[in-house]
Every structure is written in C-alpha cells, then in structure tokens.
Structure 1
C-alpha cells in the first residue's frame, strides 16, 4: 500500500526518461547521416551503397517492432526498454570500427535490432502511467525528442567529427545511452501502484482518468495478426507509412541534399539541417497539448480531433514537394521547416492512437505493428531517394514523390480510418487459462 503524502508528479519524471530515451535513440541513428559525406569519400562508397547502408537500419528496426512490442507488453517495459537502450548504445560505439560497406551494413542492422523496442515501449508506458486526457500531450512530448535528437546530432556531431574524427565520435555518442540505463532501473516502475515514491492522489488521478486500464499481469497481449482484422489498424499503418517516408528524409539524405544540391559547406550544413527538426520539436508538443485540450473540453469528438490534426499536419508536410523549385536557400529551408513540422503535428496523434484503440495490455503490440509498416518507409525511402538522385542527378523528383505519398496519407486518414475507439477485449484470455505453448 502506498503511503506517500501529497500530490506527487512521478509520471512526469517517467515522461522525462521516455523523452531522453528517444533523444538518445535519434542521436545514435543520426550519427551515420551526419558523417555520410566523410564516409562516402573515405570508404569509397557510391550514393547507391550509402542508400543501402542508411536503409539497413530500417530493415531490422521494422521487422522487430512487433516482437519488441510483445516482449514489452508480456514482460514489462522496464526490461524491454532498458535492454534495448543498452544494446543500441553498444552497437553505436562499435560502429566506429567499421572498415567498409559490409561492416557498416552489419552494424547498422544491429543498431536497428536494439532501437526497435523504443517506441512500442514508450506507447505502452504512456497508456499505463498517464490519464487519457494527457495521452496526446505525452505522446507528442516523447516523440518530439526524436527531432531534438536529430537537431542536436547534426551540429554536435559535425563539430565532433571536425575536432576528432568520425570513428571517435561514434564511440563517444554510443556511451551516453549506458548512463540512461542506470537511471532507468532506479527510477521506473511497471505500474503507478508499484512506485515507492508516488502518492495516492497521483495514482487516483492516473487510474480514474483512464477509460481502459493496462498492466494486469493476468491478461496476455492480443496476438498481432488478429489485430489485422480491424479497419483502424490498417489505416494507422498505411497513414504512418506515408508520414515516415517523408519524415526520414530529414535524418538520412537532408545533409547530403544541402551540400550537393544547395552548395552549402559542411559546417553551415550542420547548423541549417537542425532547423527543421527544432521547429518540429516545438510544434509537436504544442499540437499534442492542443489536441488534448480540444478533446477534454469536448469541442470535438476524439475521432474528429485525431482526423483534424492528422490532416492539418499532412497538408503542411506537402511543402516538401515545393522545396526544390526555389533558388532561394531561405525559402528552401522555410519550406522544409514547415514540412517537417507538419509530420510532427501528425506524429503527435499517431503515437496517441495505440492507446486510443488497443485492447488491454496490447498497446505496445499495436504500436509495434503500426511502426513495423510505417518504417518500411524508412527501409525503402533512402534506397528510392538514392536511386532517383543517381538517375536524375538531383533531389527534385525524389521530393516530389514524397509529396505524392503525403496526399495518399491524407485520403487514408479521412476515409479509411473509422471511429477512434478501443478494440474489444474478448480475445484477451487470462494468462492462467493459457498454456505456455500458446504464448
């Protein structure tokens, strides 16, 4: 029984650790992008080969989303996220030892294995630790760290590479996550009721504010393939694919685009490439908070609110298709900032949706399924972009293609997605009624 007096704010300490995990996640996956111009020259890599190396991360990352989500729901987010951060931090450090295409490809695959658990785990934590009225706020908050991580990574890593070299930089960056793991195991508890320093008032605020309570150890996650019978799951997957295809341009090919097509020097590129990500970080938190206010004050239904913010975000993201048609560097950067901010407005709703629709104890599985399909955009996007650049000699048609996919995303959320509501729990059988062989 919890005996701490007063109205604590432990859930926001947890949110801080969730935010840091995603920031570290994106810093680690962005190192290669920032170092790409050096790697292309030093290791004699063609644009096509670099495209495959960048995409390799998404192959393992995408394929392991569902297993990582299942593991987090079944054994707890404390183990799921803690082990994952330790794994990917080590993989990042070792990447500094790469000698060519094969070793870079293998280590990039290893990085994806570890990072696969980050988002499914965070979605599950948000459903357990926060009332429904704060779901989009905390979702926008932890996902905004991806933009901060990318934004900090660009100028920081460019500076570190100039000061040291890219090999030492990988080692230093990779060590940061191990410090996070130590803090995680001391601070996090699986459920609010199990935390030693939380008050009764905060537990009541969290649990009384949840339409559906997650964390019952006697209920198994719904099998992922059964989720595919639901229309909203398909809409979530398809829509997020179109968002991620565009979004990942900013952490894969953007530095090369600014250097090769816009003629920026390496140091200036490091600063400019951070701007779209910083804008997106701020806009995403605001979008999540605003959408929660709209729902909480009953200005619109949950369904209408999610569709409205998704549509607004994707309309903004269309600006990526106009960026290459201006000779003004200022206008190019402005359009890219609007486009990236649009993807983050949409993302604040995307990461709230698993908590909105998932059966009990299945939020991480739903998030993992959604992220599996969405990251196919990351898996094929860098390859398609590299191929278009190699064929045409510029990024123009690659960015236009991204904009066309965004249009598909808008239509998907408006017409394929139905009412946003929880999926029935009927198929979630208590664990004591299920044999180990059926897990």
Structure 2
C-alpha cells in the first residue's frame, strides 16, 4: 500500500523514538530527591552521576553518528534503542551513587545515537525548505519525553517504588525499537512511498557519492565550528532543565515529589511549542524573501533574546514565577536547538550528516557536562540564581557567532529543479 506524504510518518516515528529516549533519560532528574535519600547521595555525588551520563554521551555521539552513517539507520537506530532501554532498566539495581553512575554511563553511551539518527533521517527524507519543520516536530519528542516523565515516573514510584520506575520507562524503548526496525527504510527502498514523493526527495538531495568523508575533514571545516560553538553555548540550558529543575524546586522552593510532578513538566510543554513554532518560523521567513541560512539564524537569535528570562529566575519571588521563567527558557532553548540541528542537515550532505551532527552534539554536551559539574560544585554554596544568570548570556554569544560568520555556512550542491507534491 502506498502512503502519501510518507516522510511525515517517518518524522512521527522519529518523534516517538525521542519520546522514549527522553522518558528514560529524565527519570533520573524526577527521582533525584528520592534517590539522594535512598542512596545517601550528596549534591556533589549526584552531579557525578549526572556527569557520568554526560561524559559517556559526549564521547559516544560522533562514534554513534559514524556507526549510523556506516551501517544505516534502520538496524543501527534499533540496536541503540534496545541498548538504552536495557541500560535504563539496570538503574533499578543501583545500591549507591557509584553503581548508579556506572549504569548512567551505559545509558549515555546508548542514547547518544538519538539526535544524529533523527537529523540523518531528516536529511534523507526532506527537501531543504521543509527540514526545519521536520526537525521541529521530531525534536518535540525530546521535550515531550521530558514533559511526561514527571507524572509517569512519580506515578510508578508511588505505586511501587523508584526501582520499578526505571524498569517501566526502559521497557518503552524496546517496543519503539521493534516498530522502528519493522517500518523504517530509506526513500529509495521504502515500499510504501509514492513515486511522486520519491522523485521530489531525490531531486532536492545532493548528488550521491561513495566517498567516505573522514572525521578530520569535518573537524577541519569552518562550517563545523560556526555551528559547534553555538551548540556548545546552548546545551548547558537544556542539561540544567533536564537534570536540575526537580532538585532546584525541592531544595530552594520547598516542593515535594507530588508538587514537582504537577509543575516540573510545564517547561517541557513550552519547549515543545518552541521547537515546533521555531521550525515553522524559518519557512515563513523564506516565503518573505529571507534566504535559507539567514532564516535559521533569525530564529536562533530570537530564542537567544528570550533566554534572558530564565537568567532572571533568581529574582522570582515565588516558585510559580520561577516555573513561568523556566517555561520561557524551555520555549527559547528548543527553538535554538532545533534550528542549530537543522543547520547541520543544511550544510552537510546526507552521507556525512550523522558523523557531523555527532561531533556538533559532542561540542554541545561538553558544554552541558562542564556546566552541570559547576552546578554540583557551587549550588550548595552560592545557590542556583547566579548559575541560571549565566545561562541568559551564553546563547546571546552563540547567536553573535552565527551572525558574524554566516558566510562560512555554505550549502552542498543540489540539482537545479525542485518539484513539489
């Protein structure tokens, strides 16, 4: 059976995978107050647990991207999905912060394939004019997974205990991996694609090549660094939202586990909206005469200005005002993140974009890791407010880098015509 506009069903499947990925990932942040008590962890030790995931994820991202480029999305992404599910289930057997950090590191190794895989799928399946929208929708899965994690994890923890919460959230990924392997194919080989859609996708893509781009060629290109530096500066905000909001609400705003479940999901709901609306902003600007690359940078710059809001959380008088500012930050960050990821699909060919996005993601996660370790060292002494203030500045610097070096972002060659469905 042929399916019209099959590429959007592919995006839905990628989105489901990122939901499963982030549901597993954010289980730790939701359970942080409970785990600190049950496993007798200090804030500094908790930062090491977070850091174990971030370090493993950081090191593995370009490797995972290269594996996906080498062996293909269908099998590669499914294997990584099963691996992260099993690693998350192992958290249930932690007996101290060291064992928890070990299992967290295994999760980081496996989950590192998610974003490079999604970006590669978008590069394979979408014309340039639609990529930011596609990335916005699949990137919404990251915040949707983070959004549903608090109520799901807390419900399971209250029904059974925190160990079962890790098992249940891990099992979701196994079901998704089976669905991915059963349904995913490239546009050239998918039996359900219409001939019109296959021609449209083929016409927009750069000419096929058998040449394998070496990592040093990617790392030596100016276009890589112009994207990697803003990603390095943007990622600390998302790492902070994912791993530290529940602990911040518990320690500085006096919320218990049930209150956290009621309110901690709101910044991620706002993040969904930011990622999706940011994706539509780029084609809206293009219809009004703005070129492809500048249309991405306008959205990133707007998000950077909005990131001033979470930088002011220390001035909030009530926890509800603080949550509202987190919501603005979630909206802004996902607008930035989606468009930066789209840029990597714009300027790198499909055959190399998995590796390139892996290295770009690695740059971001280095920034996130360093910032999380800084929070762990300083939060108990100087408080969270100065650290959140730093987040309000980093994205402004990243936007400035993109604006100053926009000419370094060149597009790969494509055929002259672009038929539409």
Give 1:409's aligned residue: 398
CA 1:53/1:417 → structure 2, altered by over 3 Å: closer, same or farther? farther
TM-score, normalising length from structure 1? 0.91
- Equivalent residue, structure 2, for 1:28: 24
Task: Select which of 139, 157, 163 maps to 1:167.
Answer: 163
1:207 to 184, 202, 206: 202
Residues 221 and 360, structure 1, Cα contact 8 Å, conserved in 2 = no
Structure-1 residue corresponding to 2:85: 89
* CA–CA separation in structure 2 for the residues paired with 1:21 and 1:311: 29
Counterpart residue number, 1:43: 39
Query: Which among 237, 240, 243 is matched to residue 252 of structure 1?
Result: 243
Alignment CA distance shift 1:360-1:35 (3 Å): closer
| Structure 1 residue ranges without an equivalent (≥5) | 426-439
Alignment partner of 1:197 is 2:187 = no
**Does structure 1 conserve the Cα–Cα contact (< 8 Å) formed by 2:85 and 2:174?**
yes
Structure 1 residue runs of 4+, over 6 Å off? none
Partners of 1:236 and 1:417 within 8 A in 2? no
Pairing partner for 1:10 from 3, 6, 27: 6
Distance 1:225 1:158 in 2: 45
1:59 aligns to 2:55 (yes or no): yes
User: What is the rounded CA distance, in whole Å, between the counterparts of 1:15 and 1:94 in structure 2?
Assistant: 29
**341, 344, 349: which is aligned to 1:351?**
341
Q: Cα distance, 1:423 vs. partner?
A: 5.2
Question: In the TM superposition, what is the alpha-carbon distance from 1:419 to its structure 2 partner?
Answer: 4.7
CA distance in 1, matches of 2:412, 2:178: 36
* C-alpha distance in 2 between matches for 1:48 and 1:384: 10
Matched, 1:122 2:114: no
Q: Which moved more, 1:265-274 or 1:247-256?
A: 265-274
Of the three residues 294, 307, 310, the one matched with 2:285 is 294
Q: How far is the alpha carbon of 1:211 from its aligned partner? A: 4.5
Determine the C-alpha separation between the residues in 1 that align with 2:407 and 2:43: 41
Q: Distance in 2 between matches of 1:379 and 1:221?
A: 30
Q: Which moved more, 1:317-326 or 1:44-53?
A: 317-326
1:224 aligns with 2:215: yes
* SS across alignment from 2:188: helix
1:304 has 2:316 as partner: no
Q: Deviations for 1:19-57, whole angstroms, at most 9, x for unmatched residues?
A: 011111111111111111011111110000000101211
Q: Unaligned regions of 5+ residues in structure 2, if any?
A: 415-421
**Contact 1:222/1:359 (CA < 8 Å) preserved in 2?**
no
TM-aligned CA deviation for residue 345 of structure 1? 1.0
- State the distance in 2 between where 1:381 and 1:334 align: 22
TM-score in terms of structure 2 length: 0.94
Q: Is the 8 A contact 1:231 1:418 kept in 2?
A: no
Which residue of structure 1 lines up, in the alignment, with residue 407 of structure 2?
A: 418
Q: Aligned-pair RMSD on alpha carbons?
A: 1.7
Q: What residue is the counterpart of 2:98 in the other structure?
A: 102
Give me the whole-angstrom Cα distance separating, in 1, the residues matched to 2:179 and 2:350. 28
Contact 1:73 1:221 in 2 (8 A): no
User: How far off is 1:404 after superposition?
Assistant: 2.9
Whole-Å separation in 1 of the counterparts to 2:158 and 2:247: 17
- Secondary structure of the corresponding residue to residue 64 of structure 1: helix
C-alpha separation in 2, matches of 1:181 and 1:246: 29
Q: Distance in 2 between matches of 1:389 and 1:251?
A: 16
- Per-residue deviation, 1:294: 2.1
